[in-house]
């Protein structure tokens, strides 16, 4: 298998779970940072129907589960975001992200960790889903069992950010 270039990664962990509006505002700012290649949203699933109990199957009306629009692209937010994993072009971008977060989170704190938080090489499951030559842009971004593809954002300047 050809070598896949590896880029630095960081993880933003706020002290509170983020609502949909806060997530949208944060993504609006992160997605316009030059050098942010990919963003992965992690959080608690908000099911569309009640999954267990006597009311199983009933529609689950949840105010945090809704469509949000980032850089002109609308997509469904299905989780209450607990952390964001970013893949960036180089390490200097992480400092930029850190200062952005310090400005953004005023009501509660957050920390930005450096490390490796999403996989960069295809696994067996990726092979089963995408075949022998998967697009490196989707590896580690989405659950291979999911039907939907990642969301691709186009910045006004022309660089591409993936959510």
Partner 1 sequence: MARKPQFGPGTSVVAENRRRQMDPSRRLSVIRNVTEEDIVLLLGHRAPGSAYPIAHPPLAEQQEPDCPMRRLVSPTEGAKAGDRVRYIQFADSMFNAPCQPYQRTYVEMYRFRGIDPGTLSGRQIVECRERDLEKYSKELIETDLFDPARSGLRGATVHGHSLRLSEDGMMFDALQRCILDRDGIVKYVKDQVGVPLDRHVSVGKPMDEDWLKQKSTIFHSLVGTPLRNDPEYIEYLQRIHSLRTKYGFLPREG
> CB–CB of 160/154 below 8 Å?
yes
* Closer by beta carbon to partner 1, 9 or else 64: 64
* Closer by beta carbon to partner 1, 19 or else 150: 19
- The yes or no reply on residue 28 touching partner 1 (CB under 8 A) is no
- The yes or no reply on residue 63 touching partner 1 (CB under 8 A) is yes
Contacts of residue 139, Cβ cutoff 8 Å, sequence gap at least 6? 4, 119, 120, 121, 122, 126
Q: What tokens does 63 get?
A: 């105010």
- The yes or no reply on residue 106 touching partner 1 (CB under 8 A) is no
Rounded (10°) CA dihedral 77, 79, 80, 81: -80
* Closer by beta carbon to partner 1, 3 or else 103: 103
Q: Under rule CB under 8 A, how many of the chain's residues touch partner 1? A: 28
Contacts of residue 93, Cβ cutoff 8 Å, sequence gap at least 6? 8, 33, 34, 35, 36
Per CB under 8 A, which region of 4-12, 54-62, 121-129, 133-141 contacts partner 1?
54-62
Q: CA-CA distance, 85 to 113, in Å (whole number)? A: 9
Min. distance of Cβ 19 from partner 1 in angstroms? 5
Per CB under 8 A, which region of 33-41, 42-50, 66-74, 118-126 contacts partner 1?
42-50
- The yes or no reply on residue 62 touching partner 1 (CB under 8 A) is yes
Q: How many CB atoms lie within 10 A of CB 55?
A: 11
- The yes or no reply on residue 22 touching partner 1 (CB under 8 A) is yes
Binding site for partner 1 (CB under 8 A): 14-19, 22, 44-47, 50-56, 58, 60-64, 80, 82, 107-108
């Amino acid at each position: 298998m050809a070598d896949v270039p590896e880029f630095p990664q960081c993880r933003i962990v706020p002290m509170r779970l983020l609502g949909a509006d806060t997530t949208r505002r944060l993504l609006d700012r992160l997605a316009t940072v030059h050098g942010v290649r990919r963003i992965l949203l992690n959080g608690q699933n908000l099911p569309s129907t009640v999954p267990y109990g006597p009311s199983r199957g009933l529609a689950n009306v949840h105010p945090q589960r809704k469509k949000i629009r980032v850089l002109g692209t609308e997509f469904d937010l299905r989780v209450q975001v607990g952390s964001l994993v970013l893949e960036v072009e180089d390490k200097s971008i992480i400092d930029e992200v850190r200062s952005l977060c310090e400005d953004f989170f005023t009501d509660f704190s957050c920390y930005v960790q450096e490390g490796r938080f999403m996989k960069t090489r295809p696994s067996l499951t990726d092979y089963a889903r995408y075949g022998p030559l998967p697009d490196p842009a989707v590896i580690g971004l989405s659950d291979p069992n999911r039907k939907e593809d990642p969301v691709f954002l186009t910045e006004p300047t022309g660089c591409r950010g993936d959510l």
